[in-house]
Amino acid sequence: MTTKPVRCAIYTRVSTEHGLEQDFNSLDAQHDAAQAYIRSQAHAGWTLIRSRY
């Protein structure tokens, strides 16, 4: 059975700007976690939309 592709985007957010000046911040951590989850669902056809805005 062929799996239909599911295109996935990642949305991250913070409530304050505190800590955003760091090399690795909560936005990066959120993105990394979401990206790992999407990869874990590759068997179901999930693919990450690569563009970051």
Walk along the chain (53 residues) and give the pLDDT tens digit of each residue. 678 999 999 999 988 888 888 889 899 999 999 999 999 999 999 999 988 87
- pLDDT value of residue 2: 76
- pLDDT value of residue 43: 95
Angstrom distance (rounded) from CA 42 to CA 5: 9
Helix (H, G, I), strand (E, B) or coil at 39: helix
- pLDDT value of residue 17: 85
pTM (2 d.p.): 0.80
Angstrom distance (rounded) from CA 39 to CA 45: 10
